[in-house]
Amino acid sequence: MTSVKLLEEYKNIVDESLIVTKTDLNCIITYVNDKFCRISGYQYEELIGKNHNIVRHPDILSSVYTDIWHTIKKLKKTWKGKIKNKKKDGTYYWVEALIKPILDTDGEIIEFIGLRTDITEIECYKASLKNTLDDTSKSLKENKHYTLQYEEAINKFTAILKTNTDGLITFCNEMFCNLSGYSKEELIGINCQNLRHNNHIILGDCDRLKRSLLANKHISIIFTNITKDNSLYFLDTMVYPITNIHGKVIEHLHIMHDITELKNIDIEIEDTQKEIIYKMGEISESRSKETANHVKRVAEYSRILAQLYGLSEDECNILFTASPMHDIGKVAISDEILKKPGKLTDEQFEIMKTHPEIGYAILKDSKREILKAAAIVAYQHHEKWNGNGYPQGLKGNDIHIYGRITAIADVFDAIGTDRCYKKAWDYEKILEYFQKGKGEQFDPTLIDLFCENKKLFFDICDKYADTIDT
């Protein structure tokens, strides 16, 4: 199934379950789904091209919209909150809203998307309950009756857990059971940490949660949980410490909203961006004498070296995705030089040596972590440990670790695989070459790691070997 088809299916899911709008940078509506038309009372044609303030309700203070605009446009962050809107017939409705700026690969906003859930009934319950509780003539029995209805409405929209101070579950509502796939009987008494992905323990999220609660502070976090059948779901979670009249924390209240659909869309978009970056690397290599699997092998070698060096999982994944872009600057080098079958003249080689700076210029202004890493790799993969590389003549640890790793990966692939103009070196000769270049051309620590784990790299080289037409 193609990425485009998957994205279309995710879009359909969102359209069916949420109230959706899209606007341009001036808040002019460019898209609404059927749910928005139904709740607002407007026809599709009456909304497209209009300013989104067509549904603005006068009860909502202008400061709220100022805050929304500042968050999504100035900070380029997602705004979440409750909004009261006005229908075409003058009545109102309430929504729980998430408004997100959509950014291009350079980090610039291209549009805004709004995802909303109808909470009109809940807000009406709240208003009704407040009025009822304010009326002292109502009996306690009546107040309890209204409170139970309000709680029921909340429970249908929100997943709730209660845990004791040791993290053991003492209460769970039906919504949480539905999300997790466990029954109440299976959940009561187990540690809530056991329901979470192990990454939260590795990254220290669970410890951070405990520290905040011990300090009597609430904490907001997005948890990745695992269902009974081992699938993932994502919860936007707020955990509150509950105290007794003496101020002692006696239990923890977890209030959670399911954001699995939105998270899956984000993952799919991120995967698509990675695929585009990878294809851009392939395009840059396809113009030169490099082979089809060159960028794939360089990516694999780079990730293995990064893992052996001790970089974090996130850094290893970033470098894996970014390293195929190391020669992107070659797109500006003429075919006369790039595809020349023989040795380059001194003048031609000087032109070829400009490709790191060109690649850096293409990528350096991006706000995306992967493209920022790609800019570093493109700029520094021809630097040498002894300072005799180019274009900057950086030396030793002044060369970014991404550049030092990709330099070894790129050279190993160049000498370790067949080309139309040469045969691959045997592995013993490659090891001798690296030992000779250790501390001169290459980072000595990385060369030691390569040689100590040479089988990992040789296996990748064999696995993704090219067939060269002669």
The domain that holds 247 is classified in CATH as: 3.30.450.20
pLDDT of residue 2: 47
pLDDT of residue 73: 92
The domain that holds 329 is classified in CATH as: 1.10.3210.10
φ and ψ at residue 367, rounded to 5 degrees: -95, -5
286 and 322 share one domain: yes
Q: Is 344 left (phi over 0), alpha (psi -120 to 50) or beta?
A: beta
Does some domain include residue 4? no
pLDDT of residue 213: 85
| Number of Cβ atoms within 10 Å of the Cβ of 45 | 8
Per-residue pLDDT in tens (0 to 9) along the chain, 470 residues: 444 554 455 455 555 668 889 999 999 999 999 999 999 999 999 999 999 999 999 999 999 999 999 999 999 999 999 999 999 999 999 999 889 999 888 889 999 998 888 888 878 777 776 675 565 445 556 656 655 665 565 556 688 899 999 999 999 988 899 999 999 999 999 998 899 988 888 888 888 888 888 888 888 888 899 999 999 999 888 888 888 888 888 999 988 888 888 777 766 666 666 666 666 655 555 544 445 578 889 999 999 999 999 999 889 989 998 888 888 888 888 888 877 877 889 999 999 999 999 989 988 887 778 889 999 999 999 999 999 999 999 999 999 999 999 999 999 988 988 766 568 899 999 999 999 999 999 999 999 999 999 999 999 988 888 654 44
CA angle 133, 136, 139 (to 5 degrees): 80
Q: How many domains does the chain have?
A: 3
Does some domain include residue 449? yes
Euclidean distance between the first and final Cα of the chain, in Å? 35
296 and 399 share one domain: yes
Q: Which of 64, 96, 118 is the C-terminal boundary of a domain? A: 118
CA distances for 192 relative to 166, 173, 176, 260, 397, angstroms: 10, 14, 12, 19, 43
Q: Which of 118, 150, 168 is the C-terminal boundary of a domain? A: 118
Please provide the DSSP assignment of 72-87 as one string. IIIS---EEEEEEEE-
SS3 string, 413-468, reads HHHHCCECCECCCCHHHHHHHHHHHECCCECHHHHHHHHHCHHHHHHHHHHCCCCC
Does some domain include residue 151? no
CA distances for 380 relative to 282, 306, 401, angstroms: 19, 16, 10
Q: How far is residue 399's CA from residue 376's CA, in Å, rounded to a whole number?
A: 9
167 and 295 share one domain: no
pTM for this predicted structure: 0.49
pLDDT of residue 428: 92
Does some domain include residue 5? no
Does some domain include residue 62? yes
Would you state the structure tokens that stand for residue 98, as one six-digit string? 């998430």
Burial category of 55 from C-beta neighbours within 10 Å (exposed 0-12, middle 13-18, buried 19 and up)? buried
Q: Which of 57, 90, 118 is the C-terminal boundary of a domain? A: 118
The amino acid at 13:
I
The amino acid at 24:
D
pLDDT of residue 368: 78
**Which among 376, 390, 458 has a CA at the least distance from the CA of 424?**
458
Does some domain include residue 235? yes
Domain with 374, as residue range(s), is 269-463
Does some domain include residue 140? no
Q: How far is residue 268's CA from residue 225's CA, in Å, rounded to a whole number?
A: 18
CA distances for 36 relative to 16, 58, 156, 260, angstroms: 11, 19, 21, 21
281 and 352 share one domain: yes
Element (H, E) at 93: strand 92-103
